[in-house]
Structure 1
């Protein structure tokens, strides 16, 4: 697999057990983020990408196995500009709305749950 200069690619983020990435945890966390332009062919298997300023702490040159070709259907892409990342590539999770409330009745107590 090779990329041409100016072509768009997705960047792979490796999942770590127990770490919350981009709003999802575990098996459901996204494997690829962004839509980044390939700037330059650096070596036999390395490419330089155009990364946004909020990902400035990440190195610009990536191995080709860390990239995935973009196919045009953008439903599966996480928009990187919608999430504010700090210098450690972490973000704060903010609740948006309460979707559902429920009360589970046990023999001696009630357990209230809220779906946010």
Structure 2
């Protein structure tokens, strides 16, 4: 009875698991773990982004570990990730990124600076 109870969750997971395999020079997004009290990319808590990237894969370390080329602003982060932390990055021709490097603090937060005021409105009572 105990053996069947233990095998049931394994069968459930095995049916839904995707076999992932990345090649060198593929682009992937890296999963960002939630940290309590840290604001990431203007959102805090549930609405913060789960993946950042794209980053290029430099080498395959083992069957389930990959070395990723991170930006110099992420120098404090170890560059070897388990396959469960990676997602394949699909590029689209209409997907244009306006990327500017960010200065991250040790707790992976950053200061937002406004670039341009898009609209101005006065309210009268």
TM-score greater than 0.5 by the shorter chain: yes
Alignment match, 1:68:
87
C-alpha distance in structure 1 between counterparts of 2:122 and 2:47, whole Å = 24
Q: TM-score, normalised by structure 1?
A: 0.71
| Unaligned 5+ runs, structure 2 | 1-19
Q: TM-score, normalised by structure 2?
A: 0.67
Alignment match, 2:49:
30
Pairs within 5 Å for 1:89-100: 89-95=108-114, 97=117
Q: Which has the higher helix share?
A: 2
Residue of 78, 84, 98 corresponding to 1:59:
78
C-alpha distance in structure 1 between counterparts of 2:121 and 2:45, whole Å = 23
Q: Aligned Cα RMSD in Å?
A: 2.7
Equivalent pairs counted in the alignment come to 103
Deviation (angstroms), 1:94: 3.2
Alignment match, 1:8:
27
C-alpha distance in structure 1 between counterparts of 2:98 and 2:68, whole Å = 17
C-alpha distance in structure 2 between counterparts of 1:15 and 1:34, whole Å = 16
C-alpha distance in structure 2 between counterparts of 1:102 and 1:67, whole Å = 47
C-alpha distance in structure 1 between counterparts of 2:64 and 2:79, whole Å = 14
| Unaligned 5+ runs, structure 1 | 106-116
